[in-house]
Structure formats: structure tokens, C-alpha cells
Amino acid sequence: MARYRKTFFLMPLIGFLLIFFVVPMVWFLSYAVRETEVPRALPRTLEALSHWQQDQPVPETAFAALAGDMIEAANSGSMADAARRLNYELTGVRSALSKASRVVRRAGAGTDFDIDFFNAIDPVLTSPAFFAVVKRAGNAMSDHYLLAAVDLQRTPAGAVVRAPQENRLYLTVLWRTLEIACMVTLACLFLGFPVAVLLTTSSEKVADTILVLVMLPFWTSLLVRTTAWIVLLQKEGIINGVLLSLGLIAEPLTMIFNRTGVVIAMTHVLLPFMILPLYGTLKAIPRGYMRAAASLGARPFTAFHRVYLPLAAPGIAAGCIMVFILSVGYYVTPALVGGPSDQMLSAFVANYTTGTGNWGLASALGLILLIVTIILYLLAQRLSGGRAISLG
């Protein structure tokens, strides 16, 4: 009976998560493998190509079907999406299809829509490579976006190869994202560990004051905090002013719109997520352990290394994994205080969803972030003995 009562109280939360988190996320991630544009715009062409192989001549019926699809798709407005999808794999197809669509609609009755007709508009529309891409994008699912997200692509023959050098981008951005997340995590650990130790060794009144200071960033808008760093870190800002007045630097440092500004601002925002798990773990370590180690002849460093640090490991793992996971998906702070070469993977996801409308690639990049997060979480759980996400 008690179990059913707990389930009843959890039902609103479970329902909320299912409706507003799990279902939308699964739906969004499905765009990474779903093909919708070409099947919707070119159904007759796909039917004509159903038995066609790339080493065979393109069937004549495919051209008439393509013309029919262009007329229908122009009326429904689906040709633009299909042309954009095909252009991802075959550059130049978008403009060729747009031109062909206009010519087909203006053609008079009795026009013979054959290979010569489309060849006169643009030879790319009669090439086997074009129809191979149409057929591949016409499947219900494909790996195009997943491969593109890791700088791979399929050749016209279907083999998986690396993308051309000028098109390789996302592995570099992924590595940059992980690099920035590592730097922020290490900075938070370096700054947060002493604070957590101080919290556990201070009087209750002092600890409460420090905790209020730790929690203070949570009470301020993320946008406000990030904007404040822009003011502080600029060349005419307070920090450069203080360093110049102390004579520590001869000219203002460039600390904004570069990697330095991103790491500083993100460290400030994410520091509480390192301190709180650490504090929960360190508080549970009996103080007598260190005194016992000292009474047995251990030096302070040896006692810290052999006794204190292993007991603090679950808190370190929990803090690091929380900071790292949050860093990997950060968007606002790098977008405001970083330069063009400091944008993280989430910025590209945002651009593809709200800017270019390339939901397939946005979903594939999001899936990569999710996989990286799951792998890191499992690794942290294993290293911390199953206590990575724990406050004590």
C-alpha cells in the first residue's frame, strides 16, 4: 500500500516529464535519421526509381515523374525543403531544381519532359549522382545527418568516406566543446575544493555565511551575470584598471570575446555545482580520521593523499560530472563573451534549429552531445563507486 501511495504522489511529476521532456526529446532526436522532405515532395520520382540501380541508365519515366512532382510540390510548397535537403549532399542542386520548377510550370501543354528537357535546364538534373541522392534521401530513414555530424559522408556509390577538408567542421567543434568543458571543470575543482573544505571546518555561523555567498549566483539571472562579465573583462573594465594601477601589466589585457572570457564566465556560473556536492561529501568524513592518521605517524600530505582524498572522491566525481555535463551544453555564455572560434556545439544546434531550419543536422549534433554526456556519466559512476550523482 505504501508503494502505491508513493507512486501516486510521483504521477504528476512523471507525467510532466513524459509530456514535456521525454516525448519532445525523442521526437527531436528522431530527426537525425528521419527523411521527410524528399518523400513528401517527390513521390512519383521515387516510385519511378524504385527498381533503378546507379549503374543503370536513368529510366525515362523518372523525368516525367520529376516534372509532375515539381508542379505538385510547387503548389504545396514542399519543393523548397526537398531542394535544400538534396543540396546538402549535392551542391548546386537547390538552384537547379528551383530553375527547373519554374520552367516546368511555364511549359505549355504537350511538352515532352524527357532527359533533353532537363539537360537543357541544368545537366546536373540528369546525372545518375542526382538521382542516387534523390533515391537515398527518399528512404524513410538514412544516416546522412549522423555521418555529417562526425564529418563523414557517403559517396555516390554508397561508401562512407571523410568529408572534403573544406567541409570538415563538427569534430573540431566537438573537440573544442570538450576542451572548454574540461578547462571549466578543472577551474571549478581548483577553486571549489578549498571552499568546500573551509565549509566543513568553519563554525556554523561562518559556514552559513559562506553558503549564502556560494548560492548567491543562483539568485541572479544568467544573462545578467554574463553581461556583468562583459563589463568587468573589457579593456576599459575594472579588472584591467586594477592590474594597470598596481603596475602588474603595462597595457590592458584582452580577456573578452576569446577563450579566457568564456572560461572565466562559465567558471563563475558553474562553481556552485562543484562546491555543493563536494560539501555534502566532505561533511560526512569524520574529522577523527585525519587525527588518527597523524597519530600513526603520517605526514599531513600523506594523510590527505591516503585518507582524506579517497573519501572525498565521490564528491569530486559528482561535482566534476555535474559541471562538465552542464558545460558541454552551454550556449548563452560562450555566445556572449566568446569569439567566433570559441562557439560550442550547442551554438550550432541553436543556429540550425532557429536559423537555417536544418533540423536533421541539429538533431544529429544534439544526439552526439547526449551520447557524450551518457558516456561521461557512466564513467563517473564507475570511478566513484556508483555515487557520482550524490550529495552525500
pLDDT of residue 382: 75
Q: Which of the four pLDDT bands, split at 50, 70 and 90, describes residue 176?
A: very high
Residue 7 · residue 15 · CB < 8 Å = no
CA 151, CA 165: separation in Å to the nearest integer? 9
Rounded mean pLDDT, 48-65: 89
| Mean predicted confidence (pLDDT) in 213-227 | 84
Stretch 317-325: mean pLDDT: 89
Per-residue pLDDT at 267: 94
Task: Please state the separation of Cα 276 from the chain's center in Å.
Answer: 26
pLDDT band for position 327 (50/70/90)? very high
Position 109 scores a pLDDT of 78
Q: What is the DSSP string of 299-362?
A: -HHHHIIIIIHHHHHHHHHHHHHHHHHHHHT--HHHHHHS-GGG--HHHHHHHIIIII--HHHH
Grid cell 563589463 — which residue? 231
Band of residue 147 on the pLDDT scale cut at 50, 70, 90:
very high
pLDDT of residue 386: 65
What is the distance between the alpha carbons of residues 238 and 336, in angstroms, rounded to a whole number?
A: 19
- Give the residue-averaged pLDDT of 74-91: 86
Cα–Cα dist 45/63, whole Å: 8
Under the banding of pLDDT at 50, 70 and 90, the label for residue 273 is: very high
The strand ranges marked E within the chain are 152-154, 160-162
pTM over 0.85: no
Residues 6+ apart with CB under 8 A from 362: 31, 348, 349, 352, 353
Of the pLDDT bands very low, low, confident and very high (cuts 50, 70, 90), residue 335 is: confident
Q: How confident is the model at residue 391 (pLDDT cuts 50, 70, 90)?
A: very low
Mean pLDDT of 171-180: 93
Instruction: Check whether 104 has a pLDDT greater than 50.
Output: yes
What value does the mean pLDDT take over residues 376-386? 74
Task: Enumerate the β-bridge partners of residue 162.
Answer: 152
Residues 214-220, mean pLDDT to the nearest whole number: 81
Distance CA 252, CA 248 (A): 10
What pLDDT does 365 receive?
A: 92
**What is the mean predicted confidence (pLDDT) over 352-360?**
86
Q: Percent of the chain scored above 90 by pLDDT?
A: 32
pLDDT score, position 198: 93
Confidence category of residue 264, pLDDT binned at 50, 70, 90: very high
Percent share of the chain, pLDDT over 70: 97
Q: pLDDT band for position 392 (50/70/90)? A: very low
Q: Which comes out higher in pLDDT, residue 323 or 5?
A: 323
Strand partners, 160: 154
What value does the mean pLDDT of the chain take?
88
Amino acid 181: pLDDT = 94
Lowest-pLDDT choice from 20-29, 54-63, 152-161, 204-213: 152-161
The whole-number pLDDT of residue 389 equals 56
Q: Can you give the pLDDT at residue 10?
A: 85
| Residue 171 predicted with pLDDT over 50 | yes
Q: How confident is the model at residue 173 (pLDDT cuts 50, 70, 90)?
A: very high
